[in-house]
Amino acid sequence: MFTYFAHRVLVMIPTLLVISVITFIIIQLPPGDYLSNQMAEMIASGDRAALEKLAFLRQEFGLDRPMLEQYAVWLGIWPGNNGFSGILQGDLGWSFEYNLPVDEVVGDRLFLSLVLNFTTMLFVYAVSFPIGVYTAVRQYSIGDHAMTFIGYIGLATPNFLLALILLFLAKKHFGVSIGGLMDEQYIDQEMSWGKFVSICEHMVVPVIVIGTSGTAGMIRRLRANLLDELQKQYVTTARAKGLKSSRLLLKYPLRMALNPFVADIGNLLPQMISGSAIVAVVMSLPTSGPMLVSALQSQDQYLAGSFLLFLAFLTVIGMFVSDLALAALDPRIRLGSEASK
Amino acid sequence: MSKHSYPIGTLVADYMRAACGIFPPLALMIFTELLPLFFYCMTALILLFGIYGIRTAWRQCTALIVDRDGVRQEGPLGGVLDRSLRWSEMRDFRLRYYSTRRDGKGGWMQLVLRGDDKRGSIQMDSNLPGFNDIVAQVHAVAKERGLPVDPASATNLSHLGLDTDGLNMPSADTTLPS
């Protein structure tokens, strides 16, 4: 296992670097950059000094350098105007759009995104797990049919549509706006008990909206996996030997059915940051999703790059954790792969 | 009696991995002023791959001697950390398969043998010449003595072409009432 751990770490680092290089390059692929776009507007409005200002700012922010050098400086593995000053040194760069350091811009939004999406993840697991087990154990019962029907609706309804419907219904029938993640008086305020309560109250609807499709999908997967396991011979053998149903279920089939869930950890971590972008726009949630979309649209390269690097980091870490867990849970050779070297 | 040791050709890749895991983080720590979080991460990487490199060197100097009575692991320290296990004292074994590729190919197997005492285990992997023969011998001992074989090991044994009928499998196992 130690060898596997070391090999896996060694695979993870270049993967992360390659992903970050590619995302940085893709951000810069459209012609121009944030500054040149801004300057074009100033020139159009008759500002003659704009070109000189543009040249100065491009040099100041290192935008006149080759793309890979900009990347290396931003990462902190190559000296820039201020020596080594990049992500590895704790400097995420400058947001042109907000005219602030990226870490200050990201600030609360990243935290709120984490809280919202982590709560959603807990909601998805808490709801889907018992329902998935129930529908598999009581296959073709009324409860199974009812849950399956609700699950299909959940899968087929886009999150943002559900958000719009709930916004409309809440406004029409209760006269309240359920958008946002806290009451207006708490926006840009320090965290307090009142703000915490307000966030918790406002979080209920977004959690349900974002979690519905995930819950439905997970119920279907758990049901299918568990049904597969329950039909295997060892389950029949164990039943014939008189093992209690609950013990049998928990000890063998459920454990085997969990493998796809463990493998899914890799996708869960990045979703905690970016998974709810469209819903966040619709419901005016102050999370990181809309900011990432806006940064990509305006080519605010360091802000977008920081987000994407963080997402890549979470993806790679998630895959790493899920691979380790799978290797520990089920270190079997798969059909079709080599028996040994 | 047969003597097995890892050929240098199979260890070169491991030495290179150790170097890749040690020198780039070390260079970053020396030439740049890292954020404390990244400094600790780099230190952890250097430690991890330092241990990995030492372990590879240890494997290079280690030989496994297998005979009808058991298996003996002889290291470079003149018997200080040597281990031996008689087949009659083997309590259980594990045959694991690991691969870093998504399709599960290109991996390696690891055999861990454990005895009655708690003086540690004897480990070897499929890079060792004669690995399949050792596994076959362990399989025969497990069958003869009725040692418990976990499902993962049983699957891996069958992929090596070894018959799993008659093995003490836990799916119809000791935890179930008879």
Structural domain for A172, as ranges: 107-298
Q: A77 vs B159: CB contact, 8 Å cut-off?
A: no
- The C-alpha atoms of residue B174 and residue B151 are separated, in whole angstroms, by 13
Q: Are A146 and A282 members of one domain?
A: yes
Q: Are A189 and A42 members of one domain?
A: no
A98 domain residue, yes or no: no
A322 domain residue, yes or no: no
Tokens matching residue B70: 């058991």
Q: B132 vs A338: CB contact, 8 Å cut-off?
A: no
A270 domain residue, yes or no: yes
Q: How many domains does chain A have?
A: 2
pLDDT greater than 70 at residue A274: no
Q: What is the mean pLDDT of residues A230-242?
A: 81
- A1, A332, A338 ranked by CB distance to B106: nearest: A338
Q: A271 pLDDT band (50/70/90 cuts)?
A: low
Angle at A27 between CA A297 and CA A47, to 5 degrees: 60
From chain A, the residues in CB contact with B45 under 8 A are 9
pLDDT tens, position by position, A2-11: 888 888 888 8
A131 domain residue, yes or no: yes
Q: Which residue, of A60, A95, A115, is where some domain finishes?
A: A60
| A interface test, pick of B32, B46, B173 with most A CB neighbours within 10 Å | B32
How many angstroms separate the CA of residue B92 from the nearest CA in chain A?
17
Q: Are A45 and A133 members of one domain?
A: no
A154 domain residue, yes or no: yes
Q: Between B159 and B78, whose confidence is greater? A: B159
Q: Are A192 and A50 members of one domain?
A: no
A29 domain residue, yes or no: no
Residue A94: strand pairing partners: A101
Q: B28 vs A77: CB contact, 8 Å cut-off?
A: yes
Q: Which residues contact A204 (CB under 8 A, 6 or more apart)?
A: none
CATH number at residue A253: 1.10.3720.10
Q: Are A120 and A254 members of one domain?
A: yes
Q: Which residue has the tokens 């751990």?
A: A5
Q: Are A190 and A272 members of one domain?
A: yes
- B17, B104, B172 ranked by CB distance to A10: nearest: B17
Q: Are A53 and A114 members of one domain?
A: no
pLDDT tens, position by position, A298-323: 778 888 888 888 878 877 888 888 88
CATH of domain B64-163: 2.30.29
A123 domain residue, yes or no: yes
Q: CA Rg, chain B, in Å?
A: 20
Assess contact for A108 and A99: CB atoms under 8 A.
no
